[in-house]
């Protein structure tokens, strides 16, 4: 069986968040299990892609209304990633430094999807399954089933994974002519709330829909940013499969990005060296428990709560807090300004820094995730793998992966995304940290939890097999 993942992100070539991690690791595990898996993403203008040689394998063109866009499909030479990577090179729309955030993102995502399908139509050996990720590729299930030009692909089963239903990619009917010719009787499939909604379209047209944790799938029936009715209607074809993590990239014993490597036997000294580096770099006292946050500074992550949480915690508790992230400019500014008030116990790096994130997982004592919405969350799994105790709100995948220390578990959980709940959890963290024997025992246990893709990759393969039987 051959599966093609279509995505905007794939680590290490393009990563903004967890989508990049998932698409950069799941294919490797699936290929290891005998299910050949390829990935296609845009060719972005960045060093991570440019440093690899690629080979031109297809030249094509697609039109958006009256505009024609030539593109190339290039295949990366290196096979060291454990799967084949194909890139859509389109110089005007896709060859840009950033993955998202442009005014013409709608046009960019549609050109990407049309280019992939144009290539597949002309490919001799077609994939057995097309697996789409998020709204950026959510039109593909519709395009293959209903657009005349892609008729030769209509028997290929499509799977859509929803990584985050908050983002749906809606655009207005002025752009209907971007969709190549189809029978207008089917126009309702594109529609949600009088807009063309790629995520809703994907949910309606994909053969199966998955989300990235079982609990998030349940939550979506009641809370899905306007799509809850659709998701409960389509319930029968939906399944929640918990994300995994890449145990090779995220391995404290071999991770080249951290200050000192360690395993279960050397965890105390190894983590201490990483914490020491952080404390020296950010001017903290190594004796105090270090709480950290890593992530996009957006409302869904509860990032707007962080400045007040920092102020409240540092006024009352003897702790250090480090925040790594970028996003909402007002939150960024408030976080920067707080540095003046707490020069020896708080710091922030506003930006994206992969190396620093690894050192934080390896050196911080606790990782904060006060998320309002967290479809799965990978940070808590990285924290566990590196021995940092996760402090999470019970939501989405966080609820599926973190059990509170009060329930014989290994993390600290609260119910509400507000300052008081997070403050109480930090306070519980301090109390836990002060009983060093128990704290160390828990650290040693959490690094052994297996959140690798092994289990979940098998579930995806079962799902693909069930679709091949339907064909």
The residues that touch ligand ADP, with contacts defined as CB under 6 A, are: 17-19, 21, 294-296, 324-326, 352-354, 357, 376-379
Interface mask (CB under 6 A) for ligand GLC, residues 222-251, using x and -? ---------------------x--------
Least Å distance, CB 424 to ligand ADP, is: 23
Neighbours of 364 (CB within 10 A): 28
Q: Please report whether residue 392 would count as binding ligand GLC according to CB under 6 A.
A: no
Question: Which one of the spans 16-24, 53-61, 103-111, 319-327 is the region binding ligand GLC (CB under 6 A)?
Answer: 16-24
Q: 305, 319, 367, 376: which one contacts ligand GLC (CB under 6 A)?
A: 376
Q: What is the full DSSP assignment across 30-73? A: HHHTT-EEEEEEE--SSHHHHTS-EEEEEEEEEEETTEEEEEEE
H helix or E strand, kind and range, residue 18: helix 18-32
* Whole-angstrom distance, CA of residue 17 vs CA of residue 354: 11
Q: 25, 54, 106, 164: which one contacts ligand GLC (CB under 6 A)?
A: 164
Q: Please report whether residue 169 would count as binding ligand GLC according to CB under 6 A.
A: no
Least Å distance, CB 356 to ligand ADP, is: 7
Measure Cα distances from 276 to 170, 279, 396, 426, 465 in Å.
Answer: 47, 5, 33, 21, 49
H helix or E strand, kind and range, residue 164: none
Is the CB of residue 164 less than 8 Å from the CB of residue 194?
no
Closer residue to ligand ADP in complex, CB, 62/224: 224
Q: 374, 384, 411, 447: which one contacts ligand GLC (CB under 6 A)?
A: 374
Q: 4, 22, 359, 383: which one contacts ligand GLC (CB under 6 A)?
A: 22
Q: Please report whether residue 378 would count as binding ligand GLC according to CB under 6 A.
A: yes
Residue 386 tokens, joined: 């590196």
Least Å distance, CB 378 to ligand ADP, is: 4
Best CA proximity match to 22, nearest among 139, 164, 117: 164
Least Å distance, CB 270 to ligand ADP, is: 19
- Residue 228 interacts with, from ligand GLC, ligand ADP, none (CB under 5-8 Å by kind): none
* Whole-angstrom distance, CA of residue 49 vs CA of residue 221: 38
Name, in order, each residue with C-beta under 8 angstroms of 218's C-beta and a sequence gap of 6 or more. Answer: 240
Interface mask (CB under 6 A) for ligand GLC, residues 126-155, using x and -? ------------------------------
Q: Please report whether residue 23 would count as binding ligand GLC according to CB under 6 A.
A: no
Residue 219 tokens, joined: 């939550």
Q: Which residue has the tokens 């020296």?
A: 280
Torsion, Cα 265 250 243 354, to 10 degrees, reads 140
- Residue 353 interacts with, from ligand ADP, ligand GLC, none (CB under 5-8 Å by kind): ligand ADP
Q: What is the full DSSP assignment across 98-152? A: -SS--TTHHHHHHHHHHHHHHHHHT-SS--SEEEEETGGGTTHHHHHHHBGGGGG
Q: Please report whether residue 27 would count as binding ligand GLC according to CB under 6 A.
A: no
- Residue 312 interacts with, from ligand ADP, ligand GLC, none (CB under 5-8 Å by kind): none
419-434 helix and 436-446 helix, angle to the nearest 10 degrees: 110
Is the CB of residue 13 less than 8 Å from the CB of residue 44?
yes
Closer residue to ligand GLC in complex, CB, 225/344: 225
Neighbours of 81 (CB within 10 A): 19
* Whole-angstrom distance, CA of residue 465 vs CA of residue 34: 12
- Residue 198 interacts with, from ligand ADP, ligand GLC, none (CB under 5-8 Å by kind): none
- Residue 32 interacts with, from ligand ADP, ligand GLC, none (CB under 5-8 Å by kind): none
Least Å distance, CB 211 to ligand GLC, is: 9
Least Å distance, CB 370 to ligand ADP, is: 13
Least Å distance, CB 300 to ligand GLC, is: 7
Least Å distance, CB 376 to ligand GLC, is: 4
Query: 228-265 b/e with 16+ CB inside 10 Å = b?
Result: eebbeebeeebbbbbbbbbeebbbbeebeebbbbbeee
Least Å distance, CB 399 to ligand GLC, is: 12
Question: Contacts with ligand GLC: how many residues (CB under 6 A)?
Answer: 13
Q: Please report whether residue 94 would count as binding ligand GLC according to CB under 6 A.
A: no
Closer residue to ligand ADP in complex, CB, 190/245: 245
Q: 244, 252, 375, 411: which one contacts ligand GLC (CB under 6 A)?
A: 375
Residues that bind ligand GLC (CB under 6 A): 17-19, 22, 163-164, 212, 243, 374-378
């Amino acid at each position: 069986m051959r599966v093609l993942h279509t995505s905007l992100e794939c680590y290490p070539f393009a990563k903004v968040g967890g989508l990049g991690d998932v698409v950069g690791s799941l294919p490797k595990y699936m290929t290891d299990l005998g299910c050949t898996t390829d990935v296609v993403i845009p060719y972005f203008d960045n060093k991570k892609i440019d440093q690899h040689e690629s080979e031109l394998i297809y030249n094509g063109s697609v039109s958006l209304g009256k505009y024609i866009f030539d593109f190339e499909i290039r295949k990366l030479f290196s096979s060291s990633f454990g799967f084949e990577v194909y890139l859509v090179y389109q110089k005007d729309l896709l060859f840009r430094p950033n993955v998202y955030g442009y005014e013409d993102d709608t046009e960019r995502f549609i050109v990407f999807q049309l280019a992939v399908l144009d290539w597949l139509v002309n490919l001799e050996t077609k994939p057995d399954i097309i697996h789409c990720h998020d709204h950026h590729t959510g039109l593909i299930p519709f395009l293959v089933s209903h657009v005349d030009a892609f008729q030769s692909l209509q028997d290929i089963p499509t799977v859509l994974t929803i990584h985050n239903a908050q983002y749906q990619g809606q655009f207005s009917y002025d752009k209907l002519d971007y969709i190549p010719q189809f029978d207008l009787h089917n126009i309702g499939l594109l529609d949600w709330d009088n807009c063309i909604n790629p995520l809703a379209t994907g949910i309606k047209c994909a053969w199966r829909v998955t989300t990235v944790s079982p609990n998030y799938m349940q939550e979506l029936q009641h809370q899905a940013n306007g799509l809850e009715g659709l998701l409960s209607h389509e319930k029968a074809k939906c399944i929640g499969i918990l994300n995994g993590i890449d145990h090779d990239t995220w391995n404290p014993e071999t991770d080249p990005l951290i200050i000192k490597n360690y395993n279960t036997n050397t965890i105390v000294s190894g983590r201490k060296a990483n914490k020491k580096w952080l404390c020296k770099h950010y001017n903290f006292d190594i004796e105090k428990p270090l709480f950290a946050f890593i992530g996009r500074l957006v409302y869904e992550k509860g990032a707007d709560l962080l400045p007040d949480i920092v102020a409240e915690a540092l006024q009352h508790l003897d702790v250090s807090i480090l925040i790594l992230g970028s996003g909402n400019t007002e939150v960024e500014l408030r976080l920067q300004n707080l540095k003046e008030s707490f020069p020896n116990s708080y710091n922030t790096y506003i930006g994206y820094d992969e190396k620093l994130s690894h050192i934080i997982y390896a050196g911080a004592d606790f990782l904060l995730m006060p998320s309002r919405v967290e479809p799965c969350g990978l940070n808590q799994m990285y924290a566990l793998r590196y021995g940092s105790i996760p402090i999470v709100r019970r939501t989405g995948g966080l609820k599926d992966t973190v059990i509170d220390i009060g329930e014989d578990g290994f993390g600290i959980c609260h119910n509400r995304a507000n300052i008081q709940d997070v403050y109480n959890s930090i306070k519980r963290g301090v109390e836990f940290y002060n009983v060093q024997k128990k704290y160390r025992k828990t650290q040693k246990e959490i690094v052994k939890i297996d959140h690798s893709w092994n289990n979940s990759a098998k579930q995806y393969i079962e799902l693909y097999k069930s679709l091949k039987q339907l064909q």
